[in-house]
Amino acid sequence: MPDSPNFDIKRVAILFAGGPAPAANAVISTAAFSFLEEGAQVFGIKHGYSRLAEYTAAGPLQEGTDYIRFTHDTLTNARCSRGIMIGTARTNPGKHVSAPEHLKDPELVAPLRRVYEGLCSLEVDALISIGGDDTLKTANKIKMFQDNLPEGARRFPVIHLPKTIDNDYSGIDFTFGFFTAVETLAEEIRNLNYDAAAGRAYFLCEAMGRSAGWLAYGAAIAGEASMVLSVEDITGSLAEEEVVNAETGATRKVMAMDRVIDKMVDMMLAREREGRQYGTIVVAEGMAEFLPSKYLEGVSRDDHGHINIASIHLSSMMSGMLAQRYTDRTGKTRKVNGLQMGYEARCAPPHAYDVMLGSQLGVGAYRALVEEKLNGVMVSVSGQFNLHYVPFEELVDPKTLVTKVRFIETKSDFHRLARFLETCVDS
């Protein structure tokens, strides 16, 4: 067998991992269709890496249970459908590999080897990975694992397609599903605006977005929220340093909780001066990562090392603090309702833009493998749906194997748009 990956693509595996996103089936079906049209067999690996990571122990992969074979019939009307036709999971076979040297350790790479062997059992000539930044990290590790195989070992190229409703991906302007998710949450916010006006109350909405504020900002702008705050805003007077190790003096940036809450109260009072005793506030769930340590005691972490944000109930916590601070400052009461938003957006009916974007990414996987004969690249789209192929090395730190998050630039016009449209608060 050749030492370089095989680009005579006759059998392709498509795998989706991580949280759902609208237009997932547009990506999957167009990638599958592109290869079926060329006479290749296309396997849809079911539920991410969950079964592959257990390959040798659990025995051979079973068609129908562990994977499906795509046909033109299975792809009929799939492009605009909801959900994920091959399912998903958050299993992370590369969780023990956090440096290039770990790829030399048989114990640390054992889950990656099982994934590799499982795919080899299907005799695939390529892997198309669809997922968020954690899935990109895994795709990179599978590619690097193969780079370290002995001479003559089977190798297949790995292509990654970026997915996240959070839109915090480096290497692409917008990810598929983002605009559908924004519109879904914006519609909720618009409904809440009327509810808040009727009862002279406030809603504090926690939007998904672990690392950056794209979804929170988009939903706030489109939903006409009164204020939006995200991780990018935890700076200056809204941030402070907390000592995490007394011996070394190590610190971490945390929210200055009193000042964050006071900023919200300032907005409420500004609206009252305009005769409006109601409103909605949107915060990104990722702000929970900046909570002082006393709020994070006992919070669990997942396979990727992330804290369990959903268990913190940031919106409930902050809404209680906000109501109390408003009373302290005014002597009056104002009902503040906290609620979490996001899950309802992940499988919403995809908008046309996301279907088109997702379709181009799916076709891009075909073009990367067959026309460009690439390996270890992420497919990207810009301008008039022009395709680009970004090497993994430009997206993943070569020492830590961690991906680079794309934050909202606080001086960008997108950030300024939200500030311009929300209730003005005198600094």
Which three-class secondary structure state does DSSP give residue 186?
A: helix
Structure tokens at 247: 């011996």
Side chain identity, residue 252:
R
Structure tokens at 321: 């603090």
Beta strands per DSSP E along 31-157:
41-45, 67-69, 126-131
Which three-class secondary structure state does DSSP give residue 286?
A: helix
Q: In whole angstroms, how far apart are CA 121 and each of 48, 68, 281, 318, 350?
A: 17, 14, 52, 51, 35
Side chain identity, residue 156:
F
Half-sphere exposure of 45 (CA within 13 A, CB side): 30
Report d(CA 245, CA 225) in Å as an integer.
39
Report d(CA 387, CA 374) in Å as an integer.
13
Q: Is the Cβ–Cβ distance between 176 and 163 less than 8 Å?
A: yes
Q: Report how far apart the first and last C-alpha atoms of the chain are (Å, whole number).
A: 67
Which three-class secondary structure state does DSSP give residue 193?
A: helix
Side chain identity, residue 182:
V
Which three-class secondary structure state does DSSP give residue 12?
A: strand
Is 258 catalytic? The answer is no
Choose, from 133, 166, 168, 354, the residue flagged as catalytic.
166
- In 3-state terms, the chain is what percent helix, strand and coil (to 5)? 40, 20, 40
Angle, vertex CA 259, rays to CA 217 and CA 280, nearest 5:
40
Active site positions, annotated: 166
